[in-house]
Structure 1
Amino acid sequence: MTIRAVFFDLDGTLLDTASDLAHALNALLEAKGKPALPNDTIRRVVSDGAAALIKLGFNVDDSHESYAALREELLTFYHDNLSTHTQPFDGIGALIEQLNQHNIAWGIVTNKPWPYTAPLMQKHLFASEPSAVICPDHVQEKKPHPEALLLACKQSNCSASEAIYIGDHLRDIECGRRAGCDTIAVGYGYIPENEKHTDWNATHCVTHADELWPIIKTYIKKSHEEAL
């Protein structure tokens, strides 16, 4: 396999956004006269988006009459403070540098809408620009459907078989598998309670971002050997 691109999920894989999402939910809870929740409790559900946060904080779903207003207020709180505490996970910056040095494209495939993704990418600059940043705004179907990942491959001038997709949720691994990419499940992200990233049948599993580059290097070495 020739490796031409590495794609990342955003929240819980490339960037640690949980603290700012927790702050937004707790700000909304405070505004509604409710007690704050521990960050660790919120962290477990942030990968499932605003609906999961509203469910956790207020025990209502999208069928409830208050849901739409709560969601709008939550997203406003978050948008106004979305990069206060957010940082790349330890080891991600060095990984992007390695990809750049080896002329491997990198990009993002996320279910986070573009108005929240774009400001984060403007603030957090890496050694090279991403070849693709694909949000639900750019496709018809969200992950785990493979449409977004296949679009990222197209924009990066590679086939799915020449790409690796990295994520911290089962839907990421399903997305990669359905697209035809090898996958890496990361255990340092926002793993839902009672789930293990090692149970998702990813091509590889890691517990820390520092473990990603050694895996990617094996693909580079193999492609060099195949070229001989």
Structure 2
Amino acid sequence: MTPFAGICCVLFDLDGTLIDSAPDLAGAANAMREARGLAALPLDWYRSHSGSGARGMLRVAFDTEPGDAVFEALKQEFFDAYQSRLTLNTRAFDGVDRLISALSGAGLPWGVVTNKGQRFTVPLLQAMPLFQSAATVISGDTTPHAKPHPAPLLEAARQVGLSPQSCLYVGDDLRDIQAGRAAGMRTVAALYGYLGPSADVGTWGADQTISAPEELLKSLELP
């Protein structure tokens, strides 16, 4: 029997799970560096920090953290720079198209639960036809709390009209697995995303790990 028997809906994190947005996130940070006469940094320096959004990009680009005097101003500048290039180089990970097609073909609703703000999530997904079949899209500011709080996942389950226990959540960050477990959902850790070298996925408590998007189809017993 599949470990995910009884699953009626699959929910996904966005960055690092469905899409590779690292090139555009890094591009926004590098545009800020170049505006200050600084050299652009290699994409590889940014990639493992991409799941942390502005916080991760600014840490790499300017060695600054939340709480620093300059951080808030830099964060707003980064948001503007990123919004101007949301989909220049952002692509779905290989295999995501087949995964979404298989879920839709099986009549299994799916959705997105991300900490990315709505100002970015909505136009980004609208620009990518692959994701138009999403049954629900929950952004980082849809509910009063962001992941690892379970509220966004519980709202997604409410919107699709299913119990959290019948939903599966897939993500590439510890916060994703924490949120999914707190919501009472079964969880899958995506190893192909933005995991840094220090990530100890074995301690996260996910029900399963996958090394490619299409591996999820086997667990759900979908062709």
Query: Would the TM-score normalized by the shorter structure come out above 0.5?
Result: yes
Q: Deviations over 1:168-204 (max 9, x none)?
A: 0000011111111111101110013311434322101
Give the helix-richer structure, 1 or 2. 1
Q: Is contact 1:198-1:205 (8 Å) kept?
A: no
Question: Is there any run of 5+ residues in structure 2 with no aligned partner, and where?
Answer: none
Q: Quick one: distance in 2 between partners of 1:187 and 1:71?
A: 28
Q: Is contact 1:100-1:128 (8 Å) kept?
A: no
Q: Is contact 1:185-1:198 (8 Å) kept?
A: no
Q: Indicate whether 1:103 and 2:107 are aligned.
A: yes
1:48 is aligned to 52
Deviation of 1:155 (Å): 0.5
Aligned ranges 1:51-130 → 2 under 5 Å: 51-126=55-130, 129-130=133-134
The 10-residue stretch of structure 1 (189-198 or 146-155) with the greater mean CA deviation from structure 2: 189-198
2:139 is aligned to 135
Q: Quick one: distance in 2 between partners of 1:88 and 1:45?
A: 18
2:217 is aligned to 213
Q: Quick one: distance in 2 between partners of 1:194 and 1:156?
A: 35
Deviation of 1:128 (Å): 5.4
Q: Quick one: distance in 1 between partners of 2:53 and 2:135?
A: 25
Q: Deviations over 1:32-72 (max 9, x none)?
A: 12222211110111111212221221112232232222112
Normalising by structure 2, we get a TM-score of: 0.93
Question: Is there any run of 5+ residues in structure 1 with no aligned partner, and where?
Answer: 222-228
Q: Is contact 2:111-2:135 (8 Å) kept?
A: yes
Normalising by structure 1, we get a TM-score of: 0.91
Deviation of 1:129 (Å): 1.7
Q: Is contact 2:125-2:132 (8 Å) kept?
A: no
1:13 is aligned to 17
Q: Deviations over 1:97-155 (max 9, x none)?
A: 11111111000000000000011111112275211100122101110010000100011
The 10-residue stretch of structure 1 (18-27 or 57-66) with the greater mean CA deviation from structure 2: 57-66
